[in-house]
Amino acid sequence: MLPEGIKLKEKRTDKGNRRSIAEINEKIKSGDAQILTAEEMKKLVESSGIEVAFKEVDIVTTGTFGAMCSSGAIINVGHADPPIKIQKAWINDVEVCHPGAAVDLYIGATIMSETRSFEYGGGHVIEDLIRGKEVELRATAYGTDCYPRTRLETTITKEDLNQFYLLNFRNCYQRYVCATNSRDEIIYTYMGKLLPRFRNATFSGAGELNPLMNDPDYETIGVGTRIFLGGAQGYVIGEGTQHEPGNRFGTIMVRGDCKKMSPEFIRGATYAKYGTTLYVGIGIPIPILNEDIAKKVAIRDEEIVTDIVDYGVPRRGRPKLGKVNYKELKSGTVTINDRSVKVSSLSSLKTARKIAETLKSWIENTTFYLTAPSEKLPTDTLFKPMKQTKEVSFVEGIVHAAVTCTEDEEIRTVAERIISRSVNHIVVVDNRGKLRGIVTSWDITRAVGQGNGKLADIIVRKVVTTTPDEPLEAASRKLAQHNISALPVINRDRKVLGIVTAEDISKLIGR
């Protein structure tokens, strides 16, 4: 019995234990090719086994639709008269870089508008151009003997461009981490909005539908592989930056003709208080050349495991809080520190599915043929951290013991302690040394002045804190953001380890 919704063609002529891409293309031409989406194929393998699945199926289509920041488009705007060698340029107030000769520009997806900031960026410019909208181009130059012009203002649409190609240097991550936040405040990240104290979690990626996950050893996807890109046909042009095959964090570099793309599969987007980006739709056909490849495309969400990572710690090595698989991620809840936490995707699983189905229909309608890669993607590259020549300071480098008190002490006793220890901040702790609040010399002065009797009434209980492994830059950002002058240093159990003050930080900078 075949799974519901899957129909196989009747006459099959396959013999032997392998087939070539040329043979598959012949079958596409004659209408004999059997194509399933990755989700259909997995069901078929479960119901009928690998052997049948390999014999019956020629191609499996995959799909993903997520925010891919390392995206952009190269455009050539043609020559003006008199001509200009563009030095700086803006489209709809988004600075576009000028990496080449006179009139080639690269629209980076993450560059934000100089007038609309987070609300509009390079990703939106690309989407607007694909939609056929008119955009404003502004450019300046220093002027040369052959390119005398120094200023330019005009409007353009995609029809006015000589070339308009999406040229993305890192797309389609094989899998990604699940993000959550340990801090006491909401944080805005490239993994979306994360609520305080692990109240939610986010993830990205299509799991078992992801193109690279279905060809994890890059046996069929390589340089020159024809793909679905943004609603048009595009190509893989190599491995993407940060390609890390050993850890199943593979990526690809892609290129495609924007003039043929559809805004349904290419969308400019904003991650609040983080920046702008571009949602990119990618679908890759996997030719089922042998049984081994059939076995690999059978991978299920529950077999794709990733880390739950604390984005509340702004360090390269963010703490890992546990493991989770994509089946759990798609279920809507994950377990973090023994608590059930809501989780949701940032990439659209519905659109990913639609991409796999659209690609399937293109092949069935003989408008899309497969290509054999002319070069394989590397399987041994590492993703190295940055070489740094200057030391970075962390809170642990300047933390010193905090002067503390308990809630039941008299205001007068605390005032005397402020004078005898000559400090401005007293950290309030409980009898186990855990943080209960903070009082400043100002709070005490006011209380004494007003004849206010109880310490408990003047304690500030909502305390902004730091941890020993926080970079000093992040700590001083907190001081400025909250307009305060000291941060108690605490550990994961909220035990007070010490204090850092604005004075400590400015001393360090003045050194």
Partner 1 sequence: MVRVLLKFSKEIVDQPITSQIILEKGIPINILSAHISQRGGEIIADIPSDQANKAIEAFREKGVTVDVSKLIEVDEKCFDCGACVSLCPVTAITFDKDFSVVFDENKCLGVTCSLCVDACPVRAIRLIG
Q: Which positions are catalytic?
A: 146
Which residue is listed with tokens 């059939």?
294
- Nearest-approach distance from CB 214 to partner 1, in angstroms: 18
Measuring CA to CA, which residue among 14, 483, 33, 17 is closest to residue 287?
33
Residue 34 or 351 with smaller CB distance to partner 1: 351
24 vs 266 by CB, closer to partner 1: 266
d(CA 334, CA 340): 6
Number of CB atoms found within 10 A of residue 206's CB = 30
Distance CA(106)–CA(89), nearest Å, equals 10
Roughly what angle, to the nearest 10 degrees, separates helices 441-450 and 411-421? Answer: 140
Please give the Cα distance from 379 to 215 (Å, whole number): 12
- For the CB of residue 228, give the shortest distance to partner 1 in the complex, in Å: 16
Whole-number minimum distance, CB 187 to partner 1, in Å? 12
Nearest to 32 by CA among 48, 56, 54, 49: 56
Joined tokens for residue 438 = 């903070």
**E strand or H helix at 25:** helix 21-30
Nearer to partner 1, 406 or 481 (CB): 481
Give the residue from 15, 31, 111 showing the smallest Cα distance to 69: 111
268, 135 contact by CB (below 8 A): no
Of the pair 78, 132, the CB lying nearest partner 1 is at 132
Selection from 290, 354, 326 nearest residue 213 by Cα:
326
Closest C-alpha to 137, from 149, 125, 123: 125
* Residue 388 backbone zone (phi > 0: left; psi -120 to 50: alpha; other: beta): beta
By three-state DSSP, how is residue 357 classified? helix
Of 207 and 256, nearer to partner 1 (C-beta) is 207
Which one, 87 or 337, has the nearer CB to partner 1?
A: 337
When the beta carbons of 193 and 300 are compared against partner 1, the nearer one is 193
Site for partner 1, rule CB under 8 A: 65, 67, 119, 192-193, 195, 200-202, 264, 267-273, 277, 279, 332, 342-351, 353
Q: 125 in helix, strand or coil?
A: helix
DSSP letters spanning 256-293:
EEGGG--TTSEEEEEETTTEEEEEEEEE-EEE--BHHH
What DSSP line would sit under 343-367, residue for residue?
A: EEESS-HHHHHHHHHHHHHHHHTTS
